[in-house]
């Protein structure tokens, strides 16, 4: 079978930083495909390779990497694309074309039209299969997401559409399900009888940098909250699926999302970008702090506090599950700390369970200590990157790591109030936690897990 990944956005940041390294590893691990990168930034392959590909790239990867100058605005753009594809598939009996759209959502409609055109005119004496991969955010809002989906469904079957949220390819996400559903002791404490609150913190040190053009149209809500954060919440709070099949997991995820009301408590801000991004001012939210809850029988009443965004002092990604502390009352000792589960994604993948044990040389004084799992120490440092997992599943035709349209639509419904209020932004100095994030914690009487 001859497989070709047609990379729309082939000269973009995502292709360069994440997709090309993932392709290179997969080729090195026995997968077989050709990449046809499309872009406008370079006239020819030589310039493209020089600027876009690491100097250490393997010969094998380079031999599979093709480039085509492609201007989507040109009405004749599909002609050379079709011709190049015909050259690449000449003599093949079985062909699979994988269209990978790493594009601004505003370009989807045009790209899909062009794909349909190529598809309808491609000359090939072969059996032809196709897939389309669409990066997040899927649309700008609920309405546009449905519109894009309708357009996609005119050209592809739903089973051929892969909607990417690379967080589902991350080891920590998959581990959340294993932690919850393969451990009796965790199952029995993982609900509102034992959990007091949950925090999700995703602070990044970088700004919007070279992605300014893309990010300006997106902002933090579309960039991470509608997708990565919502997916994390489903994994943290869904009921046990009947099996770990994609269909059964999707059923449980949708139940979680449907039980989250549109977010009403939130604040957004943008960093003071003078001096950063070569003087360009970012006019879109780059940080948000919010509270929501999952109104299912087992999770209702647990506040979930979220903060996420750019240009922070420290890169920190973690989930903190704080347990109720009845012991303090029962033992008449205010010094007894609560138990917690801390899942740290950055800087290192670790899971800590915080418990109280005796401080030596005291009379019945306890101290919180942590029982730690460290992914790299236990399983080695070479966990595949999320994108490698994602691309591997696409090649294998396995949809277990991809959100369904239903999940995406529910997520847009949940974040809609945040999108409507995007203009009300505070400005925060770079490398500081925006004041509204501290205010949120004070209003609700909790401390961020810093």
Can you say whether the dihedral through the CA atoms of 331, 332, 333, 338 is positive or negative? positive
CB of 139 to ligand BG6, least distance (A): 15
Q: Take residue 43 and report the two structure tokens written for it.
A: 């006239």
- Nearest alpha carbon to residue 102 among 38, 22, 25, 27: 38
Burial class (CB in 10 A: 0-12, 13-18, 19+), 52: buried
* Residues 6 or more apart in contact with residue 127 via CB below 8 angstroms: 93, 94, 95
Whichever of 204 and 407 has its CB closer to ligand BG6, that residue is: 204
Binding residues for ligand BG6, how many (CB under 6 A)?
4
Whichever of 11 and 227 has its CB closer to ligand BG6, that residue is: 227
Whichever of 115 and 225 has its CB closer to ligand BG6, that residue is: 225
CB of 71 to ligand BG6, least distance (A): 25
Whichever of 140 and 299 has its CB closer to ligand BG6, that residue is: 140
Rounded distance, CA 351 to CA 343, Å? 5
Site string for ligand BG6, 150-189 (x = CB under 6 A): ----------------------------------------
Rounded distance, CA 159 to CA 150, Å? 14
Whichever of 14 and 38 has its CB closer to ligand BG6, that residue is: 14
CB of 317 to ligand BG6, least distance (A): 6
Whichever of 212 and 353 has its CB closer to ligand BG6, that residue is: 212
CB of 11 to ligand BG6, least distance (A): 17
Quickly count: other Cβ atoms within 10 Å of residue 87's Cβ: 9
Whichever of 67 and 235 has its CB closer to ligand BG6, that residue is: 235
CB of 173 to ligand BG6, least distance (A): 11
Q: Take residue 255 and report the two structure tokens written for it.
A: 């139940």
141 is an interface residue for ligand BG6 by CB under 6 A = no
Residue nearest to ligand BG6 (CB): 223
Among 24, 66, 141, 223, binds ligand BG6 (CB under 6 A): 223
204 is an interface residue for ligand BG6 by CB under 6 A = yes
Whichever of 68 and 288 has its CB closer to ligand BG6, that residue is: 288
Quickly count: other Cβ atoms within 10 Å of residue 112's Cβ: 20
Q: Take residue 328 and report the two structure tokens written for it.
A: 């303090």
CB of 128 to ligand BG6, least distance (A): 31
CB of 247 to ligand BG6, least distance (A): 25
Bridge partners, 201 (sequence order):
307, 318
203 is an interface residue for ligand BG6 by CB under 6 A = no
CB of 443 to ligand BG6, least distance (A): 27
Rounded distance, CA 295 to CA 261, Å? 8
Whichever of 96 and 203 has its CB closer to ligand BG6, that residue is: 203
Q: How far is CA 350 from the centre of its chain?
A: 19
Q: Are strands 287-292 and 304-309 parallel, antiparallel or unpaired?
A: antiparallel
Quickly count: other Cβ atoms within 10 Å of residue 295's Cβ: 13
Judged by CB under 6 A, the chain residues 330 through 389 that form the site for ligand BG6 are 386
Whichever of 224 and 375 has its CB closer to ligand BG6, that residue is: 224
Rounded distance, CA 242 to CA 239, Å? 9
Rounded distance, CA 10 to CA 6, Å? 8
Site string for ligand BG6, 378-417 (x = CB under 6 A): --------x-------------------------------
Rounded distance, CA 353 to CA 56, Å? 41
> Are 289 and 438 within 8 A, CB to CB?
no
Rounded distance, CA 281 to CA 274, Å? 6
CB of 299 to ligand BG6, least distance (A): 25
Quickly count: other Cβ atoms within 10 Å of residue 218's Cβ: 20
- 3 state DSSP class of 18: helix
CB of 385 to ligand BG6, least distance (A): 8
Site string for ligand BG6, 4-43 (x = CB under 6 A): ----------------------------------------
* Positions in the binding site for ligand BG6 (CB under 6 A): 204, 223-224, 386
């Amino acid at each position: 079978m001859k497989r070709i990944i047609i990379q729309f956005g082939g000269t973009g940041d995502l292709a360069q930083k994440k997709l090309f390294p993932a392709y290179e590893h997969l080729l090195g691990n026995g997968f077989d495909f050709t990449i046809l990168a499309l872009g406008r930034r370079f006239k020819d392959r030589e310039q493209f390779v020089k600027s876009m590909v690491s100097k250490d790239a393997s010969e094998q990867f380079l031999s599979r990497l093709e480039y085509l100058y492609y201007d989507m605005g040109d009405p004749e753009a599909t002609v050379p694309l079709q011709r190049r594809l015909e050259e690449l598939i000449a003599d093949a009996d079985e062909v699979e074309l994988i269209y990978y759209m790493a594009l601004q959502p505003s370009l989807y409609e045009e790209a899909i039209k062009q794909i349909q055109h190529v598809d309808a005119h491609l000359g090939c004496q072969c059996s032809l299969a196709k897939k389309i991969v669409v990066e997040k955010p899927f649309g700008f809002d609920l309405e546009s997401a449905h519109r894009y989906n309708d357009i996609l469904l005119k050209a592809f079957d739903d089973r051929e559409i892969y909607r990417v949220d690379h967080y589902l390819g991350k080891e920590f996400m998959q581990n959340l399900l294993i932690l919850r559903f393969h451990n009796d002791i965790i199952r029995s404490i993982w609900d509102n009888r034992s959990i007091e609150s949950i925090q999700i913190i995703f602070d990044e040190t970088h700004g919007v940098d070279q992605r300014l053009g893309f990010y300006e149209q997106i902002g933090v809500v579309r960039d991470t909250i509608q997708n990565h954060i919502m997916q994390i919440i489903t994994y943290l709070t869904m009921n046990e699926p009947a099996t770990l099949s994609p269909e059964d997991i999707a059923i449980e995820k949708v139940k979680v999302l449907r039980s989250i009301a549109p977010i009403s408590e939130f604040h957004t801000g943008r960093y003071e970008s003078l001096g950063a991004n070569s003087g360009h001012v970012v006019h879109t939210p780059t940080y948000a702090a919010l509270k929501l809850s999952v109104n299912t029988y087992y999770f209702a009443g647990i506040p979930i506090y979220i903060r996420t965004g750019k240009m922070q002092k420290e890169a920190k990604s973690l989930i903190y599950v704080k347990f109720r502390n009845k012991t303090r009352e029962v033992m008449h000792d205010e010094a007894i700390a609560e138990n917690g589960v801390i899942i740290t994604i950055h800087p290192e993948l670790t899971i800590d369970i915080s418990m109280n044990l005796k401080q030596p040389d005291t009379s019945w004084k306890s101290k919180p200590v942590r029982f730690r799992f460290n992914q790299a120490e236990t399983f080695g440092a070479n966990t595949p990157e999320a994108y490698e997992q994602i691309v591997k599943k696409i090649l294998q035709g396995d949809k277990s790591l991809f959100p369904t349209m239903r999940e995406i639509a529910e997520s847009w419904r949940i974040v809609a109030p945040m999108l409507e209020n995007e203009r009300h932004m505070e400005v925060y100095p770079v490398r500081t936690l925006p004041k509204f994030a501290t205010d949120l914690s004070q209003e609700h009487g909790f401390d961020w897990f810093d």
